[in-house]
């Protein structure tokens, strides 16, 4: 904005001051500027041409396929997808798993971030670096390792059995919604911890001290001072966590059972097991709408947060 303003204003002022030769040079400069603007737009158009076959074209084909019936437009595929007995309650299951795991992960993530930031211990920096690397750790691997830990023959179950002298191993929840929620909480909590820590780092600590010295208790400082100021970062992290949990597939593939079918699993099964691409496409379009809505929310919140931060 500021750039365009100055480029608009500058020639006018100098037109008056400069003699004839100067305006020629200015015209040339203006022409050069116009040419570079044209080049920049051409460049952007070229990027769209490259991104087209990568993202736009496949998604358009997906939507077209989901809407095409034997005679032109139809919603047949959507009907088939949602009337399949195996996937009937699929949206309900997806949302239940989503709110249980992403909700827990958000609360735990904010709590852990607060503890790491306000009660640091030696090794906190190492731990936060580790949490940053966690993003590159594949999610299905987390689910897989839980089998060794919390499976019916896993170490933690056996440990509990030894401690409490039980007849049987006490843990038997892993393959099903319990295990899926546990794995998703473990995998997605760091995604909340990182942005929350980042937004804590921008806090003005003097305000916290002022609140404390004016007699506010810990809870009041947390609720009335820290939370409102760190809110954009926390909100962005939470929405991102919901989005990624909604899109999760690997964990469900490893730990999900036959009666735990979420949207991605149902889409995958329709496409590769039933080999019914139109039906899978219908489910995928529904899923696309859900995730893109969440993603639009995330972008709006995180942009507002970054502007706020500056």
Partner 1 sequence: MDVDLRTRVLPARRGRWMPAARWVPRIGGWSVAGLTALLCIFLFVLPVMVVALSSVAEHWSGTILPTGYSMRWFERLGSDDWDAVATSLEVGFSVALLGTALGLWIALSLEGRDRRGMGAVVDALAMMPNGLPSVVLGLAVLIAYHKKPLDISGSAAIVMLVQLALVLPFCYRCCASALRPELQILREAAASLGAPPARVLLRVVLPQMVPALRASVALGFALSLGELGATLTVYPPGFATVPIVVVGEVERGYYLPASALSLVLLAVSLLALCLIAARMPGRLSQSKS
- Asked if 253 touches partner 1 (CB under 8 A), the answer is yes
- Asked if 47 touches partner 1 (CB under 8 A), the answer is yes
CA separation, residue 189 to residues 44, 186, 195 (Å): 37, 6, 11
Select from 119, 206, 307, 310 the one that contacts partner 1 (CB under 8 A): 119
Query: How many residues at the interface with partner 1, by CB under 8 A?
Result: 81
Select from 67, 77, 90, 131 the one that contacts partner 1 (CB under 8 A): 131
Question: Scanning residues 281 to 310, which ones bind partner 1 (CB under 8 A)?
Answer: 281, 284, 287-288, 291-292, 294-296, 298-299
- Asked if 203 touches partner 1 (CB under 8 A), the answer is no
Burial classification of residue 271, based on how many CB atoms lie within 10 Å of its CB (0-12 exposed, 13-18 middle, 19 or more buried):
middle
Q: Specify the stretch interacting with partner 1 by CB under 8 A; choose among 85-93, 129-137, 170-178, 197-205.
A: 129-137
- Asked if 107 touches partner 1 (CB under 8 A), the answer is no
Per the CB < 8 A criterion, the answer to whether 279 and 80 are in contact is: yes
Per the CB < 8 A criterion, the answer to whether 263 and 201 are in contact is: no
The DSSP secondary structure of 101-170, one letter per residue, reads HHHHHHHHHHHHHHHHHHS--TTHHHHHHHHHHGGGS-HHHHHHHHHHHHSTTSHHHHHHHHHHT-SS-S
Select from 254, 261, 301, 305 the one that contacts partner 1 (CB under 8 A): 254
Select from 179, 190, 232, 237 the one that contacts partner 1 (CB under 8 A): 190
Select from 31, 61, 304, 308 the one that contacts partner 1 (CB under 8 A): 61
């Amino acid at each position: 904005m500021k750039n365009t303003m100055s480029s608009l204003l500058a020639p006018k002022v100098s037109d008056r001051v400069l003699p004839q030769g100067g305006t020629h040079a200015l015209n040339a400069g203006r022409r050069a500027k116009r040419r570079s603007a044209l080049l920049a737009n051409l460049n952007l158009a070229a990027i769209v041409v490259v991104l087209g076959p990568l993202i736009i074209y496949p998604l358009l084909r997906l939507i077209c396929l989901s809407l095409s019936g034997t005679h032109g437009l139809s919603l047949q595929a959507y009907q088939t997808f949602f009337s399949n007995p195996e996937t009937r309650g699929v949206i309900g299951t997806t949302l239940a798993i989503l709110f249980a795991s992403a909700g827990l992960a958000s609360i735990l993530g904010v709590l852990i971030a607060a503890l790491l930031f306000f009660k640091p211990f030696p090794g906190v920096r190492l731990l936060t670096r580790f949490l940053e690397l966690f993003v590159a750790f594949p999610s299905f691997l987390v689910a897989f390792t839980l089998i060794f830990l919390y499976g019916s023959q896993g170490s933690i179950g056996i440990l509990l059995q030894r401690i409490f002298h039980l007849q049987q191993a006490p843990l038997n929840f892993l393959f099903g919604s319990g295990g899926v929620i546990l794995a998703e909480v473990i995998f997605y909590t760091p995604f909340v911890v990182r942005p929350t820590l980042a937004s804590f780092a921008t806090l003005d600590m003097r305000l916290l001290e002022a609140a404390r010295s004016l007699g506010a208790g810990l809870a009041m400082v947390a609720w009335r001072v820290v939370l409102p100021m760190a809110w954009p970062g926390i909100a962005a992290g939470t929405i991102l966590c919901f989005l990624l949990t909604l899109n999760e597939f690997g964990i469900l593939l490893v730990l999900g059972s036959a009666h735990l079918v979420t949207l991605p699993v149902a889409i995958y099964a329709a496409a590769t097991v039933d080999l019914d691409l139109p039906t899978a496409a219908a489910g995928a379009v529904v899923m696309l709408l859900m995730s893109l809505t969440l993603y639009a929310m995330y972008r709006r919140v995180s942009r507002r947060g970054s502007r706020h931060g500056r």
